[in-house]
A and B are shown apart, each in its own frame.
Chain A
Amino acid sequence: MAIPFFKKKPAELPFDHFAEYYIGADVVGRGSCQTDQDIYIDGTFDGEIKTTGLIELAKNSVVTADIDARTAIIEGKYKGNITTLDELHIKSCSTVSGKLQAPNLIIDKGAIVNSAIKMERN
């Protein structure tokens, strides 16, 4: 019954390991997901994702999906339509294509973005 998960002190584990939805680098997934929890993806995913929390597509991620989220951070390869309520942060090593919609957008130097961008603030 004892599982070997918390051999290290929790504080030493990276924060992403505590995300309710965690998809690691060797994982290939497809389908749809709707939640109010944070999502961390470092693997491959095709489909549709809706969350009222944060979504992070880490640097190994290859994601083709329509995404609705409160906040999104993209560090990997992403294709699709993404809408955020708060902020969209595209980091330097990412490749992004599709439609982006966010009231606040940050694109780091070095990021490749081939997208239609719509920014609206209520």
Chain B
Amino acid sequence: MYGLFLDKSARDSKALLDYVSKWKQEHRLKTEDYFIDSVDEITTICQKNGKKFSTIVAVGSQNLFSAVVSEARFFEPQSVLAYIPTSNDLLAKRLGLRDYKDACQTVTQRKIIELTALSVNQRYFLFDYQLKVTKNHQGEVAKTTIILDKTMKIQMPANLVVVHNRNQELLPHNSAILLEAFKQATSSASNTNLLKLQVAKLTADTDQQGLQLRLPAQHVEIESSISLADIHDRALKAPIKIGFHKRVIRLIVKRGQAPQAIMSPGLIS
């Protein structure tokens, strides 16, 4: 059984819906389709039905895909994740997908790779996990305390903390996590992502892109005097602990896509 999650960008594209419908018929795929408006719906659906899906397909934006991955605890270990993009975003490039038509063919070809996901408060992430440290959507910069491997304590003004997963087995790194913190201005026009969630648009305020800190670590704790939220605006209770809670995610990628291109966005032009 396929579980298809479709966000607003997918719903708004008649051409995509028609193509996906035709593709399902052509390959006689048994699916359950869910039209998603908020990340909470994804949690509810995955909790209730996650175990019955052999293949989970996110149709829409990469935010939808990361929201689906974050609920991986509800899926069977042998289940497979796939992505049908509505735009040529970074995730589509990582997976080697040109467009939704190409992505549909890729799903049926079923070239599967295994990646290791890490967790933050039971929610998993494959590539990176962004934490917003803000009082409000204006993106006011707050004092953040980060404890790395229990040996180093760092204090700084930062409103965006990005945790990169470098534990995907194929990369020649020793560290599970590379942590970066930024102090950035927010643009006055905050955008709305395709799951209808408010995400402050962060823009760099200096030539140095607002980078405050970059450190590798095995274990990270993040504390803030004010609120912490993830990229989907789900509030997180401080202190946030990021460590070695691994899970293998089976992911469908384009045949011939180099593993390095999937792991390292820096290699993608």
Contacts and interface: CB of A to CB of B under 8 A. Distances in A.
Interface in A9-34: 10, 13-14, 17, 19-24, 26-33
Given A22-B214, A32-B152, A4 B157 contact: no
A47 interface: yes
A29 B128 contact: no
B157 A3 contact: no
Contact of A17 (B202, B203, B211): B211
A103 B180 CA distance: 35
Interface residues of A, number: 30
A30 B183 CA distance: 20
A21 B151 CA distance: 15
B154 interface: yes
Given A1-B63, A14-B208, A31-B152, A26 B214 contact: no
B127 interface: yes
Interface in A23-67: 23-24, 26-33, 35, 37, 43, 47
A5 B209 contact: yes
A4 to B, nearest CB: 6
A17 B208 contact: yes
A2 B208 contact: no
Interface of A: 1-8, 10, 13-14, 17, 19-24, 26-33, 35, 37, 43, 47
B157 A26 contact: yes
Contacts of B203: 4
B231 interface: yes
A29 B130 contact: no
Contacts of B226: none
B155 A29 contact: yes
Given A2-B90, A22-B214, 15 more contacts: A1-B91, A1-B127, A2-B62, A3-B162, A4-B203, A5-B180, A5-B211, A8-B209, A24-B213, A26-B156, A27-B213, A31-B152, A33-B152, A35-B216, A43-B156
B41 interface: no
A26 B266 CA distance: 27
